[in-house]
Chain A
Amino acid sequence: MEQRRKERIDRGVKVRSDSIYALMSWRELSYLTVPRLLLIIGMLILPLVVTSMYWQRVISIVCIYALLALSFDFLAHYTGLVSLGGAFFIGVGGYLTAIFNTTFGLPPLVSIPLATVFGAIICTVLLLPCLPLRGVYFAIVTLMYPLVFARIIEAMDILGGTDGIMGIDSFSNRWIEQYLVIIVVLLLLFGLRRLVNLDLGLIFRAVKDNDQAVRASGMSITNYKALAVLIASGMGCLGGACIVHIYMWTGLSLFALDFSILPIAATVIGGAGTLVGPVLGCLILVPISELLREFGTLRIVFYSIILVGFIVFRSEGIMVYGQRKYHQFERWIKV
Chain B
Amino acid sequence: MNKEPILQVRDVTKAFGGILALNRVSFDLYEGDILGIIGPNGSGKTTLVNSITGFIKLTSGKVMFRGKDITGRPAHKIADMGITRTFQIMRPYYSMLAYKNLVIPLFSPRAKRTGGWRGGGKLGDRDTVSIDILEEIGFERDSYVPYKLASTLPTGYLKRLELARCLALKPEMILCDEVFSGLSMSEIASMIPLIERLQMSGITLIMIEHRLRELFKVANRVMVLNFGEKLIEGLPEEVIADARVKEAYFGSEEAKEVMDHA
Contact = CB atoms under 8 A, between A and B. Distances in A.
A218 B96 contact: no
Nearest to B90: A213
B79 interface: yes
B103 A202 contact: yes
Contacts of A213: 87, 91-93, 104, 165
Contacts of A220: 74, 76
B147 interface: no
Interface string B69-86: 000001110011000110
B85 A205 contact: no
What interface size band does chain A fall in?
Answer: 10 to 19
Given A220-B74, A220-B76, A206 B104 contact: yes
A217 interface: yes
Contacts of B165: 213, 216-217
Nearest to B78: A218
A285 interface: no
Interface in B45-94: 53, 55, 74-76, 79-80, 84-85, 87, 91-94
Contact of A215 (B79, B95, B103, B110): B79
B107 interface: yes
Interface string B164-175: 010011000000
Contacts of B76: 214-215, 217-221
A7 interface: no
Interface string A200-229: 101101100110111111111100000000
Interface in A165-205: 199-200, 202-203, 205
Nearest to B161: A213
A216 B95 CA distance: 18
A214 B87 CA distance: 12
Contacts of A200: 107
B199 interface: no
A200 B107 CA distance: 8
A301 B103 CA distance: 45
Contacts of B111: 218
A278 to B, nearest CB: 20
B257 to A, nearest CB: 35
Interface of A: 199-200, 202-203, 205-206, 209-210, 212-221
14 contacts: A199-B126, A202-B96, A206-B96, A210-B92, A210-B94, A214-B76, A215-B55, A215-B74, A216-B55, A217-B104, A217-B168, A218-B80, A218-B84, A221-B76
